[in-house]
Amino acid sequence: METFLLLNRWLHIAAGFTGFFVAPVALLVRKGGPAHRLWGKMFLYAMLVAGTTAIVAASFKGLTFLLLTGIFSLYLAQFGYRSLYHRSMGAGQRPGLYDWASALLGLAVFAGTLGYGLWARPFNVVMLVFGGIGLMTTLRQLWAFRRPGPWPAGQWLRNHISGFVGAYIAAVSAFSATSLKFIAFPLNFLWPTLVLVPLLIWLQRRYAPTGEVVKL
């Protein structure tokens, strides 16, 4: 078992570092081009491996905090990728079983994350922030699935940016919390959110401004 957990740990580290370095490349290259799709898929696969190995380690060691963080990054990564298939949502396209199932599962997980943050003594501000962001994301997604008519122009692209940048924030947060020991809790978890959320908002406004038809 120790050998398995050690291998799982090194696989997690390798995947995390891969995602850490390839995400900026995907942001820098031309959006929608072959390089963007290649580096974007590499980031997706890295996050899937990093999130899965985090969940495995947390399950064996009973680390609720790590478990919820792994699920958080996994959900956001798949949310960002799945959004690419929502370009015609509402205009003849309806959400599939996978869309409903993933959003409802995310709703349950993030409600539990928020509850965990409230239940902990003292309050766990990191789980409150992550749970609140995740809960808001899933509630908005479920509302969008239920509303009649086509989605606003570029909504799928804003979701795509939110999911992938959000997953990157989660990955950087996990790295900071485990490696940057000189930063005190909870700032070690929250500084990537404070630094990168403005970048996320800028990217959304740059590539998917509200009210304009977006082609990518």
% of the chain residues with pLDDT over 70 = 97
Reported residue count of the chain is 216
Q: Does the pLDDT value for residue 215 go beyond 50?
A: no
Q: Residue 212: what pLDDT? A: 46
What is the per-residue pLDDT across 4-41, written as a single tens digit (0 to 9) for each?
A: 999 999 999 999 889 989 999 998 998 889 999 999 99
Question: For position 213, what pLDDT does the model report?
Answer: 43
The predicted structure's pLDDT at residue 122:
79
Provide mean pLDDT across the span 195-206: 92
Q: Is residue 142 scored above 70 in pLDDT?
A: yes
**Which tokens belong to 88?**
């015609």
- Bigger pLDDT: 102 or 91? 102
Please, are residues 15 and 63 in contact by the beta-carbon 8 Å criterion? no
Q: At a CB cut-off of 8 Å and minimum separation 6, what does 23 contact?
A: 39, 43, 164, 168, 171
Q: What is the pLDDT of residue 47?
A: 94
Mean pLDDT of all residues in 201-205: 92
pLDDT, residue 214, reads 41
pLDDT tens string 172-190: 988 898 888 899 988 998 9
DSSP 122: S
Task: Number of helices (H) and strands (E) in the chain: give both, helices first.
Answer: 7, 0
Helix ranges restricted to H, 62-154: 64-82, 97-119, 125-146
Predicted confidence at residue 7, as pLDDT, reads: 95
Of 9, 8, 46, the C-alpha closest to 24 is 46
pLDDT greater than 50 at residue 160: yes
Residue 131 has pLDDT above 80, yes or no: yes
61-80 pLDDT, tens digit each: 877 777 878 888 899 999 99
151 by DSSP, 3-state: which?
coil
CB atoms within 10 A of CB 204: 19
In this predicted structure, what is the pLDDT of residue 216?
A: 41
Contact of 72 with 131, CB cutoff 8 Å: no
Given its phi and psi angles, is residue 22 left (phi above 0), alpha (psi -120 to 50 degrees) or beta?
alpha
Would the pLDDT of 121 be above 60?
A: yes
